Structure 1
Amino acid sequence: MTDERLWQRDKAEFGSGETPSAGPLAEQFVELTRRLLAASTPAQVLEQVVAAAYRVVPGADLVSVTLRAPDGTFHTPISTGEVAHELDQVQYRAGTGPCVDAADSGSPGHVRSDDLATEKRWPDFSQAATRHGFTAILSTVLVPDAAPPRLPGALNIYSRRPGALDVVAQDTALLLATHGSLALAATSAVSRAELETSHLRRAVESRDVIGQAKGILMQRRGLTADEAFDLLRRTSQDLNVKLAEVARTLATRHRELDDL
């Protein structure tokens, strides 16, 4: 009971805007940060965000992620249960629903329904959700400032209890969606396989361009491979620019730089 009281206190403080004490909810976010730092692909980050939403959002019983392809079609690459895929698909087919509306370019940032049994906005989805026992939903936009070919997506949280997804849940979901948005900011991938592949491709491209830049420095300055890499790394730190970007500039514009 003591742990439950601490948990409820943390949730109340989080929703009030006060600085929460170091309790269960704060510990969950610390653990999420550790897991996100250990994740190596956008798909893995989204998996951690979805799992965290399931654990820490008050009232969460089912969680999914909605992403949009450049042609506007919707996909659910990650969820905590197959029912989420089915309920998301109902919305995708109807072209409306909280997941779809939150992922729209004109989204208000989040879409919520406290009681799907009386919800009139999305009749097909509401009927399907209540049939599966879910009576409330909260969808929060992912990558709200996306520009084509990338399009906004949504973090979707389903609850079996009417009114369970309150302001506290909304604020917590916003923080988690921010993590997901950062993971997706540099990719237009929409499926789990594409999310993994796009990251692998960028990693390979980065290694290739770093190798090219090292070769240029070794040839032009008579450096060893280690010395060339150290020079790139120091330049990256001094300029506060990613190492791959420094290497790409050198590899693609070294002739221009020679003329300076």
Structure 2
Amino acid sequence: MAARVPLSYPAADITRHVEDLVLNCPDLSGFLKDLASFCAGQQAYVSGDVSCGVTVLRASGIPHTGGSEEPTRSLEDVQTRYREGPGLSAALDEAMVLVTDLRSEERWPSFIDAARREKVLSVLALPVQLEGAASAAMSFYSLRPHGFGREAIASAHALAADASKGLRLVLRIATLRETEQNLRTVMAARPPIDIAVGVIIGQEHCSQDVALEWLFRASRARNIGIRDLASEIIATAGNAHPVKIHFDD
């Protein structure tokens, strides 16, 4: 981590600055990077030189990460890739995770190896409150053991609380954009999708709305385009073993 001079934003302006980040960078990836950089600078007032990472877990199953520095972003990615780490635990358990000295830590071996390569010795991870099925965490990394005292923890809690407001708004924007894109995709590929929906209705004896929702969910779960999945369903409809769409309730 490079040396950092604390940013000059007064504490009272933190919420306003997060709102500015939303306006200036409404796409999720850019917002997470800018948010992490801003929070790292703010936390430096009480923790000294630290870096910050943010991870967002969404119902779509695709995690989104951001870091104040590229090595920090990599630490966030390691956690989502191996499904372990303090930030991931904070997000999923909705509880603070404090690691005072990584040299004696035995949890999360993949993350520990990556953090030690970056010379990180202490970590503070906090959940960021979101809406619905989404969850998130903000993590601070220090090159010193016991890098986060009582004042630092209080400051990080305040930053996570303020960050949640902007992050909820950005996620709403992202969801609206994804919904619009899904609608455009549906309109462009309507004939095969209509036929596939009819096939699913015949297989499952369900409503059109349920069949269309199953089609979207299967597309996300299998990571293939909805038009390609619809074509696959149509092509195998007359076979002895047609493609069937099943989801547990």
In structure 2, what residue type is equivalent to 1:93? Answer: R
CA distance in 1, matches of 2:53, 2:174: 15
Q: Is the 8 A contact 2:122 2:145 kept in 1?
A: yes
Correspondence for 2:17: 35
TM-score, normalised with respect to structure 1: 0.55
Please point out which of 9, 32, 41 is paired with 1:55: 41
Correspondence for 2:107: 121
- Please say if 1:67 is aligned against 2:53: no
Task: Tell me the C-alpha RMSD between the 2 structures.
Answer: 3.0
CA distance in 2, matches of 1:131, 1:46: 23
Secondary structure at the aligned position of 1:155 is classed as strand
- After the TM superposition, which residues 1-260 of structure 1 pair with which residues of structure 2 at under 5 Å, given as runs? 28-39=10-21, 40=23, 42=26, 46=32, 49-57=35-43, 58-76=47-65, 78-104=66-92, 106-108=93-95, 110-144=96-130, 146-148=131-133, 151-186=134-169, 188=171, 195=174, 198=177
Correspondence for 1:10: none
Q: Is the 8 A contact 1:45 1:180 kept in 2?
A: no
Unaligned runs of 5+ in 2: 1-5, 181-249
Unaligned runs of 5+ in 1: 1-23, 202-260
% identical equivalent positions: 26
Aligned residues: 167
In structure 1, what residue type is equivalent to 2:50? Answer: D
CA distance in 2, matches of 1:37, 1:60: 25
CA distance in 1, matches of 2:114, 2:32: 25
Q: Is the 8 A contact 1:142 1:152 kept in 2?
A: yes
CA distance in 2, matches of 1:198, 1:171: 35
Q: Is the 8 A contact 2:58 2:135 kept in 1?
A: no
Q: Is the 8 A contact 1:28 1:56 kept in 2?
A: no
Secondary structure at the aligned position of 1:112 is classed as strand
CA distance in 2, matches of 1:197, 1:51: 26
Secondary structure at the aligned position of 2:97 is classed as strand
In structure 2, what residue type is equivalent to 1:92? Answer: T
In structure 2, what residue type is equivalent to 1:91? Answer: Q
In structure 2, what residue type is equivalent to 1:169? Answer: A
Q: Which runs of 4+ in 1 moved over 6 A?
A: none
Structure 1 pair 168–195 and aligned structure 2 pair: CA distance change class (3 A): farther
TM-score, normalised with respect to structure 2: 0.57
Q: Is the 8 A contact 1:59 1:161 kept in 2?
A: no
